[in-house]
Structure 1
Amino acid sequence: MTATRPADFTRPGTSILSRMPQHDATQLTQGGNQALIVLDEQVYQLRITRAGKLILTK
């Protein structure tokens, strides 16, 4: 199965990724390895592992 990309994805400077908000995980955790993120009164935990991976749990 071949996925197709939106037409504007391939044009330089107009890609979907360039228009998305970008956040540094180390800033979210203020130099630590955990942060809480709230969405619609639900609290999620963002954790940076020792291997440098991100885990988001409810």
Structure 2
Amino acid sequence: MNAMTQVPDPTFDKPTPQLDTYDARDIVKDGVQACIVLDGQTYYLRITRAGKLILTK
């Protein structure tokens, strides 16, 4: 019988930096899709009818 041991997460006790937070509905102004550009590449952020986010290239 093998006993599983949990390895402690080294980042658990470290404070996390404050991250910028954006509401997806503010980014997707028309309520459906927004374009996001990174290094000349265009990505599309879409909110599905089920309320999920999909990011595609």
* Unpaired stretches in structure 2, ≥5 consecutive residues: 1-5
| Displacement of 1:15 | 3.0
Compute the displacement of 1:34 (Å).
0.4
Q: Partner of 1:26: helix, strand, or coil?
A: helix
Higher mean C-alpha displacement, 39-48 vs 25-34: 25-34
* Number of aligned residue pairs: 51
Runs of 4+ in 1 over 3 A off after TM superposition: none
Q: What is the RMSD of the two structures over their aligned residues, measured on CA atoms? A: 1.9
Identity, in percent, stands at 47
Structure 1 residues without counterparts, runs of 5 or longer: 9-13
Taking the aligned partners of 1:56 and 1:2, their CA distance within structure 2 comes to 33
More helix by share: 1
TM-score normalised by structure 1 residue count: 0.73
